[in-house]
Amino acid sequence: MLAPHRVVIAVFPDVDLLDVTGPAEVFAVANREMSGQAPYQVLLAGPAGGQVRTSAGVRVVTDLTFDEVGDQVDTLVVPGAVDGDGVPVIDPVLVGWIEETVRHAGRVASVCVGAHLLAAAGLLAGRTATTHWATADRLAADHPDVIVDPDPIYVRSGKVWTGAGISACMDLALALVAEDHGERLALSVARQLVMYLKRQGGQSQFSVPLWQAPAERRDIDELRAWITMNLAADLSAAALAERMRLSERHFSRVFRQETGSTVAAYVEAARVESARRLLEGTDESLERVAATSGLGSVETLHRAFRRRLGTTPAAYRRRFRIAA
């Protein structure tokens, strides 16, 4: 068995709890999905031994002090914390430890406002980075040498990864698992965590969720799930109405009432979402992406991307392609 990948997560007073436990759970589930192997060893490191009180009032227990971490760090995860005014907390002791530890780390990833700590440690100079949308302007103002992009869920720049607000820590950790062990394992972990779709870094912090809250009618929910699994099928209003055993007019009215969208708009959004994932996670040709996502032709793919994302499929892939 290979030596486990050592993940060290920094913890300190008032750290955001989910920033710590979210990535830890992703790595733990990855271990379970690896058929008994232990690819990840997750350790919590703090300024001193013992308990650390998080922002939620829940206490976590450190495995190591900062001084005990040493030079065996494959992945360093740096969560964040804010004070009572929502200002990111910058602890000079923590910043100094990050500066020292990152020299030995295979990669470093910040979660949420942890990006402010990486910036204070000089790790983001000249790099593109993201953080929680509420502190992005502050990060840009405090560190003009950082190219701050407040939109993506996470950004990779060499061995430095930065993640967006709070729950995006799960998406960031899944991306790290994908880099280490491939997309298949990452998707298995996402399924176990009931993360319906593993969001890629290119998705916006503010993207409108395609999969909305459950509809009042269960049959419409079931139809939406069926649409997702059959994007290359005939998904015209007429075909879907026939599947639902309703008149086209009545079906269209019910669908819009339950989803807030026309059938055509909903189907196109679902197909574009599928195309985005293929462009981000595969090297499939545009012809294949168009066919698999149900958009049919490259011309239709281009029109849909222009209309919904304001860019071309090729430009989208260049910006958001993740490592295979």
Q: Are 274 and 294 in contact (CB under 8 A)?
A: yes
Residue 259 Cα distances to 54, 162, 225, 256, angstroms: 38, 34, 13, 5
Euclidean distance between CA atoms 265 and 252, whole angstroms? 12
Contacts for 38 with CB less than 8 Å, ≥ 6 apart:
1, 4, 31
Euclidean distance between CA atoms 8 and 262, whole angstroms? 47
Quickly list DSSP for 256-323.
Answer: HHHHSS-HHHHHHHHHHHHHHHHHHH----HHHHHHHTT--SHHHHHHHHHHHHSS-HHHHHHHHPPP
Q: Are 100 and 122 in contact (CB under 8 A)?
A: no
Angle at 22 between CA 20 and CA 24, to 5 degrees: 70
Strands (E), the chain: 5-10, 40-46, 51-53, 59-61, 64-65, 73-78, 105-110, 128-129, 147-148, 154-157, 160-163
Catalytic residues, by residue number, are 112
